[in-house]
Structure 1
Amino acid sequence: MSTMSGSSWEELRKQARLLENDIDMKLVAFSKLGMSSAPSGLSSESMPLINSEDMFDTMSMELEQLLNKLSSINDKMADIAPGGNATMHTIKRHREILMDYQQEFTKTSARVSARREREELLRGSSPTPVAGLSRRDQYSKEANHLHSSHILVDEQINIAMEAREHLTSQRQTFKRIQTRFNDITNRFPLLNSLMYRINARKRRDSLILGIVVAVCTFLLLLYAFH
């Protein structure tokens, strides 16, 4: 029974090493494919952002299957492993290799997904694309669009700041008027009720004006980025 277990253990180790070598080579090709090297006859400026998407997706599915198979073999190795520190170290090493491969695969897949999303954004930002438009031209148009948006936002911020300064000036004026009225009410107590109503209305008007300015600024910023 021990001999059969040892034989199965060695067979699984052999399968794991073969799979690791296969996955390692495929991950290198997978990463290079994700970099989207320029096709023959095209410059790097006019190449598409994603090259050979079908090939990339096919290799992605193949690598997922290989990684799952390697994970299953590692689990079987752990189940029938002979005792001893050397065996435990071997199992740990195989699992570390698997984890490294999974992280590399995930990182490459995430990078390509981000590039695909960026490509879609670039396509969406050009309602009337020009045939043969280079990637540099696309970036230039996008930069001009962002620059225009920044200018519009700066203008709206300046308007908001001017409105704030105007409100501050009005507040100072109200404070001076209130000081004078306080002097009068100290002399004429019957005016306290009138002052209370004036102050309440002033606070309400200030609150309404502040809310209106804030909403208008928010809507202008929202419009600028859309």
Structure 2
Amino acid sequence: MRIAAGHSYGLAMSWKSDFENCYLLIPVVHLFFFFLTPLLNQVFVWGHMATATGTGWAQLRQQARSLETQTETLFHTYAQYASLSQLPMTPSEDEVKAESQIHEILERREALISQLARLLDSESALTSSALKQNNLSRHREILRDHRRELKRLNSAIAETRDRANLLSNVRSDINAYRSSASSNQNNNNAEAEYMLEERGHLENSHNMMDSVLSQAYAVNENFGLQRESLARINRRIVGAASHVPGMNSLIHKIGAKRRRDGIILGVFIGVCFLIVFFFR
């Protein structure tokens, strides 16, 4: 009994000593949690910020790569206008649309790169790395290359369009010259035809005049023959009148008839000359 009581007393004293030791550790634990809790909260906040920053960086980079791919596709379409041998004098609707889309995407990429730069600056030493700096520099370099490519394509398209417009103007001048030459040739041909027609009219008039003159000469010759015949008849009548009484009055009548025939002949010749002059 005494042994058991001694053992129980020893256990009680041991528990009392442990309890007093635990009681002494309570302020230490309080101090530990007092200083450790803010540190743990800060670590949690930093971890959350790092996770959110990493997610935003990945999304922005994905958008930037997608826009770079779209830019390459639009460059492939826009470059076709620079390779055309003949461009319209004014840009087509599709050409203007492609160029405006390229400008819009380049501006969007510029804004995304600015967001990436601000996000990288906000990270400071938390999650910033040389890899992200290289990625940002690569995006900027690609954007500069695409802007230079756009300027080169614009210059090539403008040069091709100017050359096409120059060739078109030259062709227009050549066609205008040919049309003018053809018109002048047609005018010359028409003038030559008119001159030929007038020459034909003159030749016809000359032929008519020759015919009229031939007829006049024939009539004159016929009148000469008639005059000789009448002269012979007159001589015979005069010879017979000298032997036959009353013949003088008959000779006088014959002379009057001759004068009348002479007047008629003169009027006829005058009419013939008037006809020739009129048709000339």
- TM-score, reference length from structure 1: 0.48
Task: Report 1 or 2 for greater relative contact order, CA contacts < 8 Å, sequence distance ≥ 6.
Answer: 1
- TM-score, reference length from structure 2: 0.39
Higher Cα Rg, which structure: 2
